[in-house]
Amino acid sequence: IEQAKAVNFVMLFMTFGFVLSLLLRLRIFSKDISFLAAILLVWNPVYITQLFSFYIDGQLYMTLLSIIAVLGTIYITHKNYLLVPLMMLISLVWSLKLTGVIYAGFIMGSFSVLFWYSEKILFFFKNIQIGFIASIIAVFIIGFNPYFTNTLRFHDPFYLPTEKNELVKVNIPENYFDMNPVQRLIMSILSKSDNVKGIGGEAT
């Protein structure tokens, strides 16, 4: 299972390539400065600390940064083949983290506005189409479980992150079960730091 962490290194080089390609095409900096800037953008503290772990915050950052770089390159070059990695990256965001979908939607929406006001109408519509197709792939193919299976079982594709279920109770102390989110926040700040959770766990 440790071999699966290699995906972090793959994403590191993937994002570096996308970012460097965009910076070189912008021609704002010299090649050396562009190379250094690309390294600094991908080799950030969050990703460094999570490189040998299964935490997904760094992966989410890399994926969103790649989306920005690919969209920026599309804006400059008008290359249709770049729509393929864009579609894959959007699909990947759905599988990483639900909040990532919101971030990616904001990025896609911002670039759609940019395409529209730059009179690049063709890519405005292609951007919308790619987002829609990628979402379909993410939900019904890549993310069949849990999105589609949750819809069949619970009539809610986002059941796990939105419903109060057994996952909540195994991750908080028992004396927090009946508290609302605000009370839990206040109590967790004022309580003694400890790793107590689930039935039998009591934070003091």
Q: Which residues pair with 198 in a beta bridge?
A: 173
- Would you say the C-alpha torsion 40, 41, 43, 44 has a positive or negative sign? positive
Q: What is the CA radius of gyration of the chain?
A: 21
Tracing tokens 């915050």 back to the chain, one arrives at 57
Q: Between 153 and 16, where is the model more confident? A: 16
Cα 124 from Cα 97, distance rounded (Å): 26
Q: At a CB cut-off of 8 Å and minimum separation 6, what does 173 contact? A: 196, 197, 198, 201, 202, 203
What pLDDT, on the 0 to 100 scale, is given for residue 167? 64
Confidence tier at 30 by pLDDT (50, 70, 90): very high
Q: Identify which of 21-35, 43-57, 94-108, 131-145 has the greatest average pLDDT.
A: 21-35
Tracing tokens 């589609």 back to the chain, one arrives at 148
Cα 59 from Cα 42, distance rounded (Å): 11
What pLDDT, on the 0 to 100 scale, is given for residue 34? 95
What pLDDT, on the 0 to 100 scale, is given for residue 97? 84
Long-range contacts (CB closer than 8 Å, 24 or more residues apart) made by 176-185: 176/203
What pLDDT, on the 0 to 100 scale, is given for residue 10? 93
Is the pLDDT at 174 greater than 90, yes or no?
A: no
What pLDDT, on the 0 to 100 scale, is given for residue 193? 77
What pLDDT, on the 0 to 100 scale, is given for residue 165? 56
What pLDDT, on the 0 to 100 scale, is given for residue 192? 79
- The CA-to-CA distance between both ends of the chain, in Å, stands at 37
Mean pLDDT, to the nearest integer, of 106-118?
92
What's the whole-number average pLDDT of the chain? 86
Is the pLDDT at 74 greater than 80, yes or no?
A: yes
Mean pLDDT, to the nearest integer, of 93-110?
89
Which two tokens mark 159? Answer: 């059941």
- Would you say the C-alpha torsion 119, 125, 131, 137 has a positive or negative sign? negative
What pLDDT, on the 0 to 100 scale, is given for residue 168? 66
Cα 175 from Cα 76, distance rounded (Å): 56
